[in-house]
Structure 1
Amino acid sequence: MCGPWPAPVGGVSVHIQRLSQRLEERGLRVAICDESPDRKQDHFFLRSFNLRRYIRLVRQADLLHIHSSVHWFRLLHLFSAVLFGKPAVITFHSWRAGGMTTRLWRLLLRATGSELVFVSEEIAQQLALPGLVAPAYVQGVAASEPPLPQTVVSWIEQQACAGRLLLVSNAYRLNDHAGADLYGLDHCLALIQSLRDQGVAAALLFVVANPEGGEEKLTSAEAFINNHALADHCLIHRGALSYVRLLQRADIALRTTNTDGDALSVRESLAAGCITIASDVTRRPAGVRLFGTRDEADLLRVVTVAIKDLAAGRGECKPVADEDCVAALVLLYQRLFRKSGAGLLF
């Protein structure tokens, strides 16, 4: 399994971790080629550039499942699979490349005959190649989730004592896309300001799992909070925490992205029974309330409607059956094992 392994915590890394656990429960042996920035003791660290160990890992594998979002890493794994005659599955969790890059990858993928998995119909349409469309959602075990930091728990309790509803959102890293805040932190803060000005008691907890590289945006966000007297209503948490635990205590979860893949946090919000409001930049699961992407006024409208009837909103949540994703991948693996002559390994 090639891709990032937590920490840092992000949708792709969490998916790989949970998928690996499910596959091992079914009797498969899963080795990890970790592409994340942080070295772990238990897995091969690709950024160590230990070519000999990498080649040994590939040669010992019966199949490579590639989750890389970095083009060079994806290309390396694909080349290695072809070189050593290993079947390859490539999951595309997002696609933001331009026209020329897309055309080159399309030619390469057709030439290698790799099996493709797209986490959404939109990504499949962007690449215009045949493949399996399967949401990248494997539900975690709530009991195994780490507790929230005490500072976060105390802040949430303070908001509850003040009678404020809790809105939550998260970002892996604060980046721009198409000249705007990818995760929409700016709109989340403006939303809380508008709700406060309208006399609505609400608070925002925004999680930035990996603050590195986003210092300028964080400084700007903190300045906005201070300049608009929102310090009692907003908390930006720097560093990873259990978003599942946070959703269990939230009233509304926001996904204010201006580009997206399948969005693990959206499905986890639905599974937690939390009212889920997301941008319409991509197709969302049933039960999600949509607002116009980068439309601050429409976000306020949709949130205001949800606040007026929280019970009805919670009743709309429709958790997604994660086993469908795992089962579909297992069937794909079985077909490739038979085709390569490895037989059934589980």
Structure 2
Amino acid sequence: MRVLLVGDYPPPHGGVAVHVQQLHGFLRGRGVEVKVLDIGKGGRLAPDVIPARGAAQFGLRLARYVATGWTVHVHTSGNNPKSWVLAGMVGGVPGAKSPRVITLHSGLLPDYLAASAARRNFARLALSGYSRVVAVSAAVKDALVGCGVPAEKVEVLPAFCASQVRPGPVPAAVETARTRRRTLLTMAHHPSPVYGRTLMFRALRELAQTWPDVGLALFGPGLDSDEFIRDVREARVAGHLEVLGELEHAAALGLIARGDAFVRPTTHDGDAISVREALTLGVPCVASDVCVRPEGTRVFAAGDASDLARVLREAIAAGPVHASQVDAGPELLSLYAELGSHNGIKTSHEQGLGLGETRHAAQ
């Protein structure tokens, strides 16, 4: 079995990139020959990660793998034109012996497609070259089926590999933050308003009225921007923030594991990897009710800072959680084997399994 993953690879450590990295690690651990065609901005040298900068270089490298029968799995958001051009490009490369799979990650996808009939038509055409389409949530699947993608072609599978959640060493600043805060909240930051920074600041201000030493540890991009500094000043929360910048993913997991609760105050969402990571680590997780959340998540009314503060108090009072999470790795491994067998590609995975067993053998 040979699998080519196409998508962003860290850094930066965004949701799609993290999933690609974790799936890459899972497949390598299972002895699969796997490579990543990195279309992001990372540039880091990592085993079997191949940078593809520019359409020409990307097209040439992709064509080589398709021509030699690799299973190609694209990972993209689905909420912008560039994402759909990528989907159409990969799905349109001739190569009958090269199965194509795509995972669409973004919770913004339904709204993006709903805004235009042209977008829906293009999405349907772009996905026609794929053997299987993986949606990270039922809402994403419904939007794709609404475009005319056959329902039997779309599977719902959260983009999460529980087996790959491994906290690592943390910077000294994390240990310092933990030491000086009786209550430490953690949150993945992004400059996009979708991530709910200003709402979280309002809730933090309310929490500080009863927890004077409460801290919010923020990690991610955009923490030195003028907009961030303005929002901190206006909310008057500077004394309650631990600004940690962008962390290596293992260090971010180490931070989450040391926190009293993880917060996801988003205005839109897909299936957030960070929520599942927190729950896998046993950390209370509070998230907006903008989508279906994994079992164990405590939800608050989106946009309501007071409700967010209330639910955070409840989560911290209740303490650690114990909720098992999905592992997409075995499911996808079985899917690759199934698609390879349909194309006459013999895989080591199939040698020990009947075809009817491949999709469920690893569960």
User: TM over 0.5, yes or no?
Assistant: yes
Residue 303 (structure 1) shift: 1.7
Distance 1:15 1:268, change over 3 A: same
Q: 1:25-77: CA deviations, max 9, x gaps?
A: 22221111101112233422222442433432332342110102322222222
CA–CA distance in 2 between the matches of 1:157 and 1:113? 51
CA–CA distance in 1 between the matches of 2:185 and 2:6? 34
Residue 299 (structure 1) shift: 0.9
CA–CA distance in 1 between the matches of 2:101 and 2:165? 29
Residue 156 (structure 1) shift: 2.2
Runs of 4 or more consecutive aligned structure 1 residues displaced over 6 Å after TM superposition = none
| 2:318 equivalent to 1:318 | no
**Contact 1:278 / 1:291 at 8 angstroms: preserved in 2?**
yes
**Contact 2:168 / 2:253 at 8 angstroms: preserved in 1?**
no
Amino acid at match of 1:138: C
Residue number in structure 1 paired with 2:203: 191
CA–CA distance in 2 between the matches of 1:44 and 1:75? 21
CA–CA distance in 2 between the matches of 1:79 and 1:102? 17
Residue number in structure 2 paired with 1:300: 309
SS, match of residue 112 in structure 2: coil
Distance 1:141 1:330, change over 3 A: closer
Distance 1:331 1:30, change over 3 A: same
Determine which of 51, 65, 86 is the counterpart of 1:57: 65
Mapping of 1:221-300 within 5 angstroms? 221-224=231-234, 228=236, 230-241=237-248, 242-300=251-309
CA–CA distance in 2 between the matches of 1:119 and 1:158? 38
Aligned-residue Cα RMSD (Å) equals 2.2
Mapping of 1:109-188 within 5 angstroms? 109=126, 111-128=128-145, 129=149, 130=151, 131-139=154-162, 141=164, 145-159=167-181, 164-171=182-189, 173-175=190-192, 181-188=193-200
Amino acid at match of 2:309: L
Amino acid at match of 1:6: P
CA–CA distance in 2 between the matches of 1:262 and 1:29? 28
SS, match of residue 152 in structure 1: helix
Residue number in structure 1 paired with 2:342: 339
Residue 106 (structure 1) shift: 4.3
**Contact 2:9 / 2:20 at 8 angstroms: preserved in 1?**
yes
SS, match of residue 182 in structure 1: helix
Residue number in structure 2 paired with 1:71: 84
Distance 1:98 1:133, change over 3 A: closer
Residue 151 (structure 1) shift: 2.0
Distance 1:266 1:335, change over 3 A: same
CA–CA distance in 1 between the matches of 2:134 and 2:211? 47
Residue number in structure 2 paired with 1:41: 45
Residue 10 (structure 1) shift: 1.4
Question: Identity over the aligned pairs, expressed in percent?
Answer: 27
Q: Which runs of 5+ in 2 are unaligned?
A: 78-82, 350-363
Q: 1:220-265: CA deviations, max 9, x gaps?
A: 234236xx2x333112322124221012111111011111111111
Q: For this pair of structures, how many residues does the alignment match?
A: 322
SS, match of residue 153 in structure 1: helix
CA–CA distance in 2 between the matches of 1:116 and 1:231? 44
Provide TM-score, normalisation by structure 2.
0.82
CA–CA distance in 1 between the matches of 2:198 and 2:280? 26
